[in-house]
Amino acid sequence: MIVKIGNISVRKTAVLAPMAGVADRAYRLMCKKYGASYLVSEMVSAKGICYSDRKTAELCTVTDKERPMAVQLFGSDPDFMAEAVKIVLQYSPDVIDINMGCPVPKVVNTGAGSALMKDVKLASEITESAVKSAGNVPVTVKIRSGWDSVHINAVEMAKALEDSGASAVAVHGRTRDQFYSGKADRDIIRQVKNAVNIPVIANGDVTDVKSCLDMYESTGCDLVMIGRGSYGNPFVFEEIDAHFNGREYIPPDISEKMRVMLEHIRLIISMSEKTEELAMHEARKHASWYMNGYYGSAKFRGRCYQLSSYAEAEKLAEEFISLQLSRG
């Protein structure tokens, strides 16, 4: 089944959430390889782009292997947003996404991210300015359920964004003050879906095919978005894709997980302009995530944060496999 975001077609399986400091190109390509049907970039500052931020090309470039893909912008000024969209269009994104859900203080304190949940009028103006600049490129918006438990306004927000020209809205079922704690509220996502006519993308607590299907069923959403559930686990997309395409899914054993971990690390190194040692600093957290949930993983994950070369990662993976196999 296909979901249309403006003029873009997305398979109704699972999509990768935008995650700053995590979902770089190497991460996106790994998730795409295993079945993610749609990708969103790390968030990029609209104001930074307008001031010729040196990282603009790195963050906004969309490769053919990543399509369909959105470039996500954040900002609190309609004029800067409009100008940033014009600049980003040079990189031919399939979709422009606007972040109105990020809870981190350095974003919120600028009036961007989830701070916009407190100002529906400004959020609408930002969206409208982006839509006008984007031409025939769809504009989507990612929001939260509200600012806090007293101000749950995702429905009001989503309706206003639709009226401003948004082609879809993604809803993370948590308030800003929850950050990533507690449980995502699926009922508010269902309410949003019932209130708007554009596609609704549901986000929060999806970690496997069961929770993905539960999200589809309980909210009626058009697409399910996976963020932290993909940490060290691109296989979650393969599991979901297999279900929707009637294929058998065979979970990876420890040897396969470590093989994919090393492939991911090689991709990080090959795509980095830094030395291998500095690129390994970025790879460390990813390596540790692939080891989550196994016997002795706490010790090994600690060792991941000492890695300074690919050869060391290979050796660590071999030791980790041996430890798991020794337990029968």
Q: Which residues are catalytic?
A: 102
Alpha helices (H) along 93-234: 105-108, 120-134, 154-163, 186-195, 209-219
Closest CA to 194 of 172, 218, 214: 218
Contacts 24+ apart (CB under 8 A), 105-112: 107/43, 107/74, 108/176, 110/75, 110/76, 111/76, 112/74, 112/75, 112/76
Side-chain half-sphere exposure of 4, counting CA atoms within 13 A: 3
Rounded Cα distance, 29 and 65, in Å: 7
Element (DSSP H or E) covering residue 69: strand 69-74
Maximum Cα–Cα distance across the chain: 61
For residue 220, CA distances in Å to 35, 210, 217 come to 22, 15, 6
Rounded Cα distance, 328 and 150, in Å: 51
Rounded Cα distance, 188 and 243, in Å: 26
Alpha helices (H) along 34-181: 46-50, 56-60, 78-88, 105-108, 120-134, 154-163
Residue 100 phi/psi, 5° resolution?
Answer: -125, 30
